[in-house]
Amino acid sequence: MRIVRLTQETKKNILENLLKRSPNQYREYSERVEEILNEVRERGDAAVFAFTKEYDKAELTKETVRVTPEEIAEAYKRLPERTIEVIRKAIVNIRSYHEKQRRNSWFDAQPDGTILGQKITPIASVGVYVPGGKAAYPSSVLMNVIPARVAGVERIVMVTPPGADGRVYEGTLVAAKEAGVTEIYKVGGAQAIGALAYGTGSIPKVDKIVGPGNIYVALAKKAVYGHVSIDSVAGPSEILVLADETANPTYAAADLLSQAEHDELASAILITTSAELAEKVNAEVERFAAQLSRKGILEKSLENYGYILLADTMEDAIDTVNEIASEHLELLTKDAFTVMTKIKNAGAIFIGEYSSEPLGDYFAGPNHVLPTNGTAKFFSPLEVDDFIKKSSIISYSREALEPIHEDIIDFAKAEGLTAHANSIAVRFGKEVR
């Protein structure tokens, strides 16, 4: 990894380099994504099956595109019992955490006959995209499906790319069944997003699409927004470790690599006030990277977006942390909880040397679908609120409306909207022209 002295200039250059990974920067893919979506909208199943054959080398028909109960039962037989047990334990933690986010409708009634409130309604149908390709992610199934279930969504549709044999990874199927998915389709890429957004003969449309994917998936979600709602346009994974001289360099190095192995565009950054720690972490990163199974991906990721930044003060380091606004942030410092109070921008904050990032990916309970590419400055992790709608409730009696009706009439007239004013006036024997 590059060890760089943190200055305003190096900070600016690093931020610009990180932003290159945003899906918004890959416009050369946009035209192809639009072509795929248009084909799916016009030709439905035929387009979906053709693109699946082209990109995933799998032959699909109306009879085979949907995962059957028999295929799910077979997945349970193929998956080790220990893995099923771990999935079930993780579900308990994830559900428990998200149940604390559940909202209830509320109403506020006043003696004069005024009733105001908010009605909470689950979204009727949600599509969950689960990646395939370089890695399969049962954990992504749990993190996207469980908050939807807690919110009360009735129809949860999962799409995921099949292998060339037309099968879906058994861990993904078991996780889907355990989490409460109602339908599973063997479709991936932009064509899957198009099917969920527009509907096909085999795949009915949904109201919202969530879940991460490759650049085609990210751009397709962006393109269909408006036809359906989406969670976000996710970029590549990233981790930032803030450490001082008290940190364990082996732990810090292992944690940086835990995200760098996702893909070549993943970002791994250490910010520290200790030159000695920086050198030790760099050595440990090289040692681990040489022996881990995804060595090729790790090397490219670190070459492109791996940094060790040496800060003069902890205040400078924290300012940079807030500027980068990383998806995952680990605090390996003395008084880490005090440091946490100064963090303004991060998707998830992991505090202390035994709170490594994979704990959040798989098991602790908080959602691992997090804002990337600096969007933690204004976006939040996926949560139960993403799967509900809120309706305002307004009810006034005549007695409540009477003392304020002239105020409303005057306000409407000030905007030149006389029909608005008249709607109030007629209730008190008046007319506005």
Residues classed as catalytic: 327-328
DSSP string, 224-283: HBTTBEES------EEEEEE-TTS-HHHHHHHHHHHHTS-TT-EEEEEES-HHHHHHHHH
d(CA 191, CA 367): 26
Beta-carbon contacts of 295 under 8 Å, excluding residues fewer than 6 positions away, are: 289
Beta-carbon contacts of 388 under 8 Å, excluding residues fewer than 6 positions away, are: 103, 120, 121, 122, 123, 151, 152
d(CA 54, CA 48): 10
**Contact status, residue 181 vs residue 155, Cβ threshold 8 Å:** no
User: Is 62 strand, coil or helix?
Assistant: coil
- 348-351 β-sheet, strand order: 2-5, 306-310, 267-272, 238-243, 328-332, 348-351
* H or E element at residue 128: strand 125-129
Q: What residue has token string 């009735």?
A: 154
d(CA 239, CA 370): 11
**Contact status, residue 360 vs residue 366, Cβ threshold 8 Å:** yes
**Contact status, residue 361 vs residue 368, Cβ threshold 8 Å:** yes
User: Is 10 strand, coil or helix?
Assistant: helix
8-state DSSP, 130: -
**Contact status, residue 217 vs residue 247, Cβ threshold 8 Å:** no
